[in-house]
A = this chain, B = another copy of it.
Amino acid sequence: MGRNLTKRSEDYSKWYNELVVRADLAENSAVRGCMVIKPYGFAIWEHMQTELDKMFKDSGHSNAYFPLFVPKSLFEAEEKNAEGFAKECAIVTHYRLENDPENQGKLRVDANAKLEEELIVRPTSEAIIWNTYKNWIQSYRDLPILLNQWANVVRWEMRTRLFLRTAEFLWQEGHTAHATKNEAIAETKQMNEIYARFAENFMGIPVIQGTKSESERFAGAVETYCIEALMQDGKALQAGTAHFLGQNFAKAFDVKFANKEGGLDYVWATSWGVSTRLMGALIMTHSDDQGLVLPPNLAPHQVVIVPIYKGDEQRQQVLKSAREIKEQLQDVGIRVKLDDRDTHTPGFKFNDYELKGVPIRLGIGPKDIEKGSVELARRDNLTKSFVSQEAIASHIKNLLEEIQQNLFDRALSFREEHITEVDSFEDFKKTLKDKGGFVSAHWDGTQETENRIKQETKATIRCIPIDNPSENGKCIYSGNPSNQRVLFAKAY
């Protein structure tokens, strides 16, 4: 159990890999780079989906579904986008298998069933969607189109890690079409803001909103907004992006509309997405050497009750109390599990739920019943206390809110402690090496400088924070003038 996990201080990467598998979140599959998301991990993802879906719908978006495949000729239409994804595409070339005459019981690709045009398994859906929007948009009355889809996408990554970088992953991708540039930019900012609220309020992950430098932009975007989170090992993680696509896709797919004045304009576009990568952010923000730590909002079980007894008589008595407590908690909307399995010891269960990050564990035995109390263990700070069974539901409801807030506050303190302003390249390198985190520094705005800093330090510009104060200074690398600081970090 938790005890046998590699310690974070020993090998953070190994700790992460072990935790994902042993907390039953996901595992590698027989398909190179593709993961199996296990029921416990998937239940967490479902909570994210439900909340995000609600936020999207509350802001006027609807769901739809577009094909998994993109014909090559459509894929290559927007050149920058195509160039960005061409090197990591799974490609369908045939549509039939046949019996292998040389291998009894085996199959081989039927050479006669070659597709006339290859199909790309979508790495992202701008191309297929804008080719569709072309037929939906004639006039300004058809705008805006505000759609989202929940889907799987495939990017053939060479080095994969569970949740963080997998060949297939699950995500949502919003694709909107607008009559004006300003409206599209407002939509992009709104969706980035929604992601930030979701990450902070629902997942307990503090994020910095900003825009990307040109070299970190989405392929085909005019501007990429992002939310950047900081992991416990001092590396940043891009947790969501919203792209202002300008008229690039409208031009590539010839999507024009009759405007109010009677003229013909190209349509303005945005796209935005978050993925199962958020599971990685979740783990590396809150968890500890004992295992996963879940914010109550995301926990499949917010409370687990473990009965402690010897013999059948005690068992009946303890289970009766445990069931009463369970009902009281359920009645106020708490997700609670009573683990009444007779095949495992309380000690085993304690360790297992600790490993799996259940926010509150209640232990109840004969002595507790006598005293009218239960033992309560908090997963976030590993403290234990005895609480009265009276009014337990409202006590726990409040405590869950407190834990949710505590996890955010703790992560925020850590993040604030790990934003370091530096004014020289020496300090820059030293900070990255000794402390990690975000390094706030002046940059001359050129790709060349950005690339050199990356080559020398592996740090990249994570974002230019929105509402960044203007400040005159000198680029830490080139010494050239700069009018604002940007945030650098090593990143996942």
Contacts and interface: CB of A to CB of B under 8 A. Distances in A.
Contacts of A94: 90-91, 93
7 contacts: A31-B69, A34-B68, A37-B64, A68-B154, A72-B97, A91-B94, A121-B121
Contact of A95 (B35, B88, B107): B88
Interface in A59-80: 62-72, 74-76, 79
A100 to B, nearest CB: 9
Contact of A91 (B43, B82, B95): B95
A112 to B, nearest CB: 12
A29 B107 contact: no
Given A29-B66, A30-B128, 17 more contacts: A30-B74, A30-B132, A31-B67, A31-B128, A34-B68, A36-B64, A36-B67, A67-B168, A68-B121, A69-B168, A86-B99, A87-B96, A89-B96, A91-B97, A93-B109, A121-B121, A151-B152
Nearest to A86: B97
Contacts of A70: 31
Copies of this chain assembled into the complex: 2
Given A152-B68, A152-B152, A154-B68, A132 B91 contact: no
A46 interface: yes
B29 A96 contact: no
Contacts of A95: 88-91, 156
A387 interface: no
A166 to B, nearest CB: 9
A80 to B, nearest CB: 11
A96 to B, nearest CB: 6
A223 to B, nearest CB: 24
A65 to B, nearest CB: 4
Interface residues of A, number: 62
A152 to B, nearest CB: 6
A147 interface: yes
A369 to B, nearest CB: 29
Contact of A34 (B69, B93, B96, B154): B69
Nearest to A157: B95
A119 interface: yes
Interface string A148-164: 00011010100000000
Given A86-B96, A97-B87, A43 B63 contact: yes
A39 B63 contact: yes
9 closest Cβ pairs, A-B complex: A34-B67, A39-B62, A37-B65, A86-B97, A95-B156, A91-B94, A31-B67, A93-B93, A76-B107
